[in-house]
A and B are shown apart, each in its own frame.
Chain A
Amino acid sequence: RKEVEQDPGPFNVPEGATVAFNCTYSNSASQSFFWYRQDCRKEPKLLMSVYSSGNEDGRFTAQLNRASQYISLLIRDSKLSDSATYLCVVNLLGGADGLTFGKGTHLIIQP
């Protein structure tokens, strides 16, 4: 049973476009949610936490839908530097047991 599912892509998107990813999670008890960014052969880096009310950080907007158990990430005005793998991450018990990672969505921004 896959706890966190993402479309692996790749998503090929022209520079300046808007792109959105979704992620679904199987455990309704999941308490916290994150988007991480991972560049090739590098460590994951926290992009943003995801709150129930939705949150925005510059060109990035994250949404959480608890009823449907999915998380979304929207990137506006995409830059070449946005090319990376985006990992959807959930924390089941609020800190005690680590994080459950999706396999990631590969994004390629094309000039």
Chain B
Amino acid sequence: NAGVTQTPKFQVLKTGQSMTLQCAQDMNHEYMSWYRQDPGMGLRLIHYSVGAGITDQGEVPNGYNVSRSTTEDFPLRLLSAAPSQTSVYFCASRNSPLANYGYTFGSGTRLTVV
């Protein structure tokens, strides 16, 4: 199993451009989330999904959209990139609704907005 796959690994955008960060998992996990990690800030939740067709906002959703049309895929869209969105983005998934199961993370996308 590939686990959680994120593409691209690196991306440079100009301010105002839009793009989609891809996330796919092959473990048939219901729960998927997007986080961003900034120096000194820790990981912060952007959006999450508890199943196909169901998404909700996390702590820092502004400037991002998500959709969950299939169990496998959970893309994150940047609508109009801003330098404040320069960050490392991690997608994560888990299967069980039980409280003591942790997430499996993808290897991340390093995004720079200039």
**Chain A interface residues (CB < 8 Å from chain B):** 4, 31-32, 34, 36, 42-46, 49, 51, 87, 89, 91, 94-104
Expressed in whole angstroms, the Cα–Cα distance for A87 and B37 within the complex equals: 12
Expressed in whole angstroms, the Cα–Cα distance for A46 and B90 within the complex equals: 14
**Contact (Cβ within 8 A) A95 B98:** yes
Partner pick for A97 among B56, B101, B102, CB 8 A cutoff? B56
User: Closest B-chain residue to A34, C-beta based?
Assistant: B102
Give the distance to chain B from A24, nearest Cβ to Cβ, in Å.
Answer: 14
Question: Which residues on the A side are within 8 Å of B97 (C-beta)?
Answer: 94-95
- Chain B contact-residue range equals 20 to 34
**Contact (Cβ within 8 A) A95 B99:** yes
Give the distance to chain B from A35, nearest Cβ to Cβ, in Å.
Answer: 9
**Contact (Cβ within 8 A) B33 A98:** yes
**Chain B interface residues (CB < 8 Å from chain A):** 31, 33, 35, 40-45, 48, 50, 56, 58, 90, 94, 96-108
**Contact (Cβ within 8 A) A104 B42:** yes
User: Closest B-chain residue to A99, C-beta based?
Assistant: B103
Question: Which residues on the B side are within 8 Å of A103 (C-beta)?
Answer: 40-42
Question: Which residues on the A side are within 8 Å of B101 (C-beta)?
Answer: 49, 95
**Contact (Cβ within 8 A) A32 B99:** yes
**Contact (Cβ within 8 A) A32 B100:** yes
Q: Quick one: given A98-B45, A103-B41, A103-B42, are A31 and B99 in contact (CB under 8 Å)?
A: yes
Q: Quick one: given A44-B90, A97-B56, A98-B58, are A49 and B100 in contact (CB under 8 Å)?
A: yes
Give the distance to chain B from A51, nearest Cβ to Cβ, in Å.
Answer: 7
Question: Which residues on the A side are within 8 Å of B99 (C-beta)?
Answer: 31-32, 91, 94-95
Partner pick for B42 among A43, A49, A94, A101, CB 8 A cutoff? A101
